[in-house]
Amino acid sequence: MSVSRGVIFVAGHRGMVGSAICRQLISQGTDPGAIVTRNRNELDLTDQLAVRRLLWEIRPSEVYLAAAKVGGIFANNNYPADFIGINLAIQTNLITASFEAGVKRLLFLGSSCIYPRLARQPITEDSLLTGPLEGTNEPYAVAKIAGIKLCESMNRQYGASHGISYRSVMPTNLYGPGDNYHPENSHVVPALIRRFHEAKKTGLPLVVVWGSGLPRREFLYVDDLARACLHVMNLPDAAYTASTTPMCSHINVGCGHDITIKETAQLIASVVGYEGQIQFDTTKPDGTPRKLLDNSRISRLGWQPTMGLEQGLTETYEDFLERAKHGTI
């Protein structure tokens, strides 16, 4: 049975997060016909007038802002102007045009890289802006921080007078179906899946992984995040405001535990079936030493992850194989 939620616009529906949000909306009963999406050929999200025109045309009741330019350490290091400029444009266009079109509910997807490089672990929401960022992805992080603050500022200025509630969630490192497996511009999990798969296929005896392998990372299956997004979006205003403050309104979303990059590589190699050696190149950057989010805020609000890491990696590898078979990676 479908549930009427009005028109819902999902920006970035072809990406890993956006596609998971669409799946979750439908699984929770939303009429697929009520979900509006546009691909890059149909809508340039950096074009302010085009974004404004679409939102005035469809007049959505909810907007999920999952569109972003994303990438791993290599991409962030080599294209810093793109990462800050494109993301600032996308966010600003969508958030301001949503308000102008009368959108009451908006969810902004941030990133755990918004927090200081040496933040106390696990990282609480109020750690934001308390120290220097990790240099390798600072431009991307600054853009995401700006998105959070734009949502907060809209709420502070127009929340009472216009009845809006623009909310932000900060996911930890994500993986899952629909990920980007680009050999240079992807994040650690999809990059290693591809590398170990290709090494297994060609019989390579050794795979080299960037960095020392010592940094610790927390990983969350993307469908768990999608459930969290809908959970936060559906919270009554009283519950949301009771758990946040006007200038610290974002909510962490993580699984609550982390592992080293070395352990991650070994686990992915096992899932893929690669039996060769793994070597770590210490001349390459490690990035932030540790990023473990404190997810007590969203836990108190009633959400918990459900997917274990090994099972999630297995399903992600199956997605990789399926997409490789059809030439879509």
Is 168 within the bounds of a domain? Answer: yes
Question: What is the CATH classification number for the domain harbouring 97?
Answer: 3.40.50.720
Tens of pLDDT, residue by residue over 218-248, are 999 999 999 999 999 999 999 999 999 999 9
Is 156 within the bounds of a domain? Answer: yes
Tens of pLDDT, residue by residue over 131-176, are 999 998 999 999 999 999 999 999 999 999 999 999 999 999 999 9
Q: Which one has a higher pLDDT value, 9 or 210?
A: 9
pLDDT value for 75: 80
pLDDT beyond 70 at 95: yes
Is 193 within the bounds of a domain? Answer: no
pLDDT value for 12: 97
pLDDT value for 118: 92
pLDDT value for 183: 74
Please classify residue 90 by burial: count the beta carbons closer than 10 Å to its beta carbon, then call 0-12 exposed, 13-18 middle and 19+ buried.
buried
Average pLDDT of the residues in 247-259: 97
pLDDT tier for residue 77 given thresholds of 50, 70 and 90: confident
Tens of pLDDT, residue by residue over 273-300, are 999 999 999 999 888 889 999 999 999 9
pLDDT value for 68: 95
Q: Which of 64, 79, 115, 140 is catalytic?
A: 140
For the chain, what is the domain count?
1
pLDDT tier for residue 2 given thresholds of 50, 70 and 90: low
Q: Which one has a higher pLDDT value, 288 or 57?
A: 57
Mean pLDDT over the full length of the chain: 95
Tens of pLDDT, residue by residue over 174-206, are 999 999 898 777 789 999 999 999 999 999 999
Is 81 within the bounds of a domain? Answer: yes
pLDDT tier for residue 67 given thresholds of 50, 70 and 90: very high
pLDDT beyond 60 at 1: no
Is 284 within the bounds of a domain? Answer: no
Q: Which one has a higher pLDDT value, 261 or 185?
A: 261
pLDDT beyond 80 at 37: yes
Radius of gyration of the chain (CA): 19
pLDDT exceeding 90 applies to what percent of the chain? 89
pLDDT beyond 80 at 3: no
Is 39 within the bounds of a domain? Answer: yes
Q: Is 140 known to be catalytic?
A: yes
Is 114 within the bounds of a domain? Answer: yes
pLDDT value for 328: 86
Is 203 within the bounds of a domain? Answer: no
pLDDT value for 259: 97
Domain extent at residue 99: 8-180+219-256+290-306
